[in-house]
Structure 1
Amino acid sequence: MTTVIAFILMFGLLVFVHEFGHYYVAKKTGMLVREFAIGFGPKVFSTVKNETLYTVRLLPMGGYVRVAGDDPEIVDIKPGQHIGLTFNKAGEVNQIIVNNKSKHPDALVIEVEKIDLDHALTIEGYEINDEEKYSLRVNEKAFFIMDEKATQIAPYDRQFASKTVGQRALQLFAGPFMNFVLSVVLFCILANIQGVPVEEMRVGSVADNSPAQEAGFEPGDTVIEIDGQSISKWKEFQEIVRAKPNQTLDMIVVRGDEQIAVEVTPALIESPEEDIGQVGITQASEKSFVRSIGYSFEETYRWSTMILTNLGKLVTGQFSIDMLSGPVGIYDATDQVIKTGFMNFIMWTAALSVNLGIINLLPLPALDGGRLLFVGLEALRGKPVDPQKEGIVHFIGFALLMLLMIVVTWNDIQRLFL
């Protein structure tokens, strides 16, 4: 149960931060945000505030911000159609009743002759069974009423497509950007709790039953020499130990005012990429708020380059699709991480946030990066790509992503249960 709660909270945080980026820029640039959703599927909770429907949905596998103009508008009224109208105190139309007009006896029912809800915000038509013609002004925040559900109209200047190339690009980029911001914040919190790793080769802790413990290492020890080679940095120590599994190393350790000769044999740690040596010590750290800020950016950059390197290997065939993980695999990994402590869970969340940011920036259809690519093409061409063609590309891309998700999830299940 602990893992389930932790997984939902972690995924919820990652999705919320990502979607908040899209939401915030959309609001600031004047777009009408129809819905801010965490999760997919049936609604568990919903509320409306300041034009936006906020929902929490049953399946915590993602989320979305639905901006007016992203999809075809929900209601399309044609000339000749009968609609009901109600008015505000200024005499403007504030409700357009599409069906079930009998439930609104006070509404003015007209046959539409002309209607423009994008630019002029006007409706022209004739009252049923009457020759009187009406030319009516529509309030910019009027609502369609269909099946007794209200949906706010979206004048063109409130739609995604009406904004400049820069504003649209910023709105699309803001989601992944916020994932990088979250990673920096989490690494900064981690550094302020645990401390920032020092550069010099000083031991922070010694793992139980490890080669280092058997050799007599103690916290605070400083290694200055390995097999006659002088060292001063943790990175130097790490490179030598990793390269020599199952090989005895002669080290000189400084403890207090004395130097001690130590023999240690790194244990062999097998991995898909390469086998490495490990002695079971951690790097010493110190608490510094100023250094924690730099450390948080360094760690975010380090994880970013690691993820991009693995993506490059996936493209070149050095990395198999069987090694990818979906929600099931991430859940299992989260379960393993939680067992190692809350600090590692924070680090895991920060790493996943970087991963989510990078994946969403890939120039693939249906992802933020794919949509950014079309905005970039518009900037180069001086005119937008045909919305229908773009929609087809995104639809096909989304279908392929779902297929990939099914394959990856099946592989995760096989690894866990078969």
Structure 2
Amino acid sequence: MPFPNLDSVESILAIVVVFGVLVFVHELGHFLLAKRAGILCREFALGMGPKIFSVKRGETEYTLRLLPIGGMVRMAGEDPELDILKPHMEVTLVRDAVGKVTHILLDSPTGEEKGAVTGTIVRFDLEQALSIELDVEGEQRTFSVHPQAHLVKDGHEVQIAPLNRQFKGKTIWQRFLAIFAGPAANFLLAFVLFIVIGFTYGVPVNAPIFGEVLKGGPAAQAGLQSGDRVLSIQGQTINTWRELVDIVSKSPDKQLTFVVDRGGQKIAATVHVQTEENVGKIMVTGSNQVTYEPGEVLRYGAKSTYDFTTMILKSLGMLFTGAVGLDDLSGPVGIFKMTGEFAQQGMAILMKWAAVLSINLGLFNLLPLPALDGGRLAFLVAEALRGRPVDPHKEGMVHFLGFAFLMLLILVVTWNDLQRLFTE
């Protein structure tokens, strides 16, 4: 069966938790920076499609949706929710003690609203002036609207959003940060996961210490032993295992003088480096020692995040240059399968995989493609260069076409995943 790793509840739970955390952290980045900028966030959602659970806290509705793919932070000004209010429409205004309108009822009043006024809309401005003018029995009256007033239709309340609470009402820099914060949160999550791995399982010591010295190999023939710490090679001081590997690999079929520390005693040995595919080898492995030193763990977290980021960027470059084709890509099905398999290999492997996925999600969203965070950032850069925003309708059309393209791409890679699964 193509999905043997999904036979266990643990694997399924691992998939749900990993992807739930990745999406949650991404959307939390958007949410926190948007709130910091003063943007009204109407909804914080995990998943897509119909709502299966929702709760409102403050100005934001927190929802869980049916399809476990993605999520969203719905910010004020990004949808036409207030277009339901039109001139010549009969409404009822409910006011507070100081006379400000707190509710605009589009349904027939129940008669329980104290201080309510019913009339026909002449004009209104709920973005800047925060006022509404009604024709009340032939008399035109203007009312001041509270900045947190609600429209009420069919029992559903929608909070109005003055321009200074809308996404478009913020500075370019504030909007840029609110969008960029999503991918940035994924990089931060990867960094944190690598740090957790380091503190939990230790960080491999990068010291130039021999682990296993293979019998009959060049190092063993020269008298080197397991546990020897290399001090220098050919007079060059060696501080890390990487330095040792670099020198040896670039010295095939050469004689190298090693100075090692063995129990506090310095020992010199001449090693004849053997050649394997034009690469120098002395047939030793590194030490399996690990460290939990905070500085080393932090460096490990930063370096791992950087290394995987550059590796993924190179892979993306190969995709755009044609070195890698669409047949080599994995979609949601393939990623789910690999997540389940890694879950069977232990928590350390699963956390590292989650960190890599988080970096992938951050980088993918930063691609300057319509419908992605990178595409929205590109429009903001264009606005900064032009001195004025791109026409919202044109931008919306570009994002719509980009979304359609992404859905097509997901279908293609998912089809590839299914073909690979059923031919295994």
TM-score range, shorter chain: 0.7 to 0.9
Q: Secondary structure at the match of 1:25?
A: helix
**Change beyond 3 A, Cα 1:242–1:398:** farther
Do the aligned residues in 2 keep the contact of 1:197 with 1:283 (CA within 8 Å)? Answer: yes
Alpha-carbon distance, 1:105 to partner? 5.8
Aligned to 2:124: 115
Bigger mean CA offset, 50-59 vs 373-382: 50-59
Q: 1: CA distance between counterparts of 2:372 and 2:393? A: 17
Do the aligned residues in 1 keep the contact of 2:56 with 2:62 (CA within 8 Å)? Answer: yes
Deviations 1:330-382 (Å, cap 9, x if unpaired)?
Answer: 11111221122111111111111111111111111011110000000110011
Alpha-carbon distance, 1:279 to partner? 9.6
Do the aligned residues in 1 keep the contact of 2:82 with 2:160 (CA within 8 Å)? Answer: no
The higher-RCO structure (CA 8 Å, 6+ apart) is 2
> Of residues 35, 38, 43 in structure 2, which corresponds to 1:35?
43
Matches within 5 A, 1:333-372: 333-372=338-377
Do the aligned residues in 2 keep the contact of 1:241 with 1:279 (CA within 8 Å)? Answer: no
Aligned to 2:4: none
Task: Structure 1 unaligned segments of length 5 or more: list them.
Answer: 244-251, 266-277
Aligned to 1:405: 410
Matches within 5 A, 1:58-69: 58-69=66-77
Aligned to 1:12: 20
Do the aligned residues in 2 keep the contact of 1:40 with 1:61 (CA within 8 Å)? Answer: yes
Aligned to 2:328: 323
Q: Does the alignment pair 1:87 with 2:92?
A: no
Q: 1: CA distance between counterparts of 2:309 and 2:342? A: 20
> Of residues 134, 147, 162 in structure 2, which corresponds to 1:125?
134
> Of residues 189, 192, 197 in structure 2, which corresponds to 1:185?
192
Do the aligned residues in 2 keep the contact of 1:220 with 1:255 (CA within 8 Å)? Answer: no
Q: Does the alignment pair 1:48 with 2:56?
A: yes
Q: Secondary structure at the match of 1:75?
A: helix
Deviations 1:245-302 (Å, cap 9, x if unpaired)?
Answer: xxxxxxx999979999xxxx9xxxxxxxxxxxx9998853222111111221111110
Aligned to 1:270: none
Q: 1: CA distance between counterparts of 2:129 and 2:366? A: 37
Letter of the structure 2 residue corresponding to residue 151 of structure 1 = V
Bigger mean CA offset, 279-288 vs 310-319: 279-288
Q: 2: CA distance between counterparts of 1:364 and 1:282? A: 45
Matches within 5 A, 1:17-416: 17-99=25-107, 101-103=108-110, 106=113, 107-127=116-136, 130-202=137-209, 221=227, 233-235=240-242, 283-416=288-421
TM-score (norm 2): 0.82
**Change beyond 3 A, Cα 1:104–1:313:** farther
Deviations 1:149-192 (Å, cap 9, x if unpaired)?
Answer: 11101111110111111111111111111111111111111111
Q: 1: CA distance between counterparts of 2:23 and 2:245? A: 36
**Change beyond 3 A, Cα 1:40–1:203:** farther
TM-score (norm 1): 0.83
Task: Structure 2 unaligned segments of length 5 or more: list them.
Answer: 1-8, 251-257, 275-282
Bigger mean CA offset, 163-172 vs 186-195: 186-195
**Change beyond 3 A, Cα 1:58–1:283:** farther
**Change beyond 3 A, Cα 1:282–1:2:** farther
Q: 1: CA distance between counterparts of 2:300 and 2:126? A: 52
Alpha carbon RMSD of aligned pairs, Å? 3.9
**Change beyond 3 A, Cα 1:345–1:222:** farther
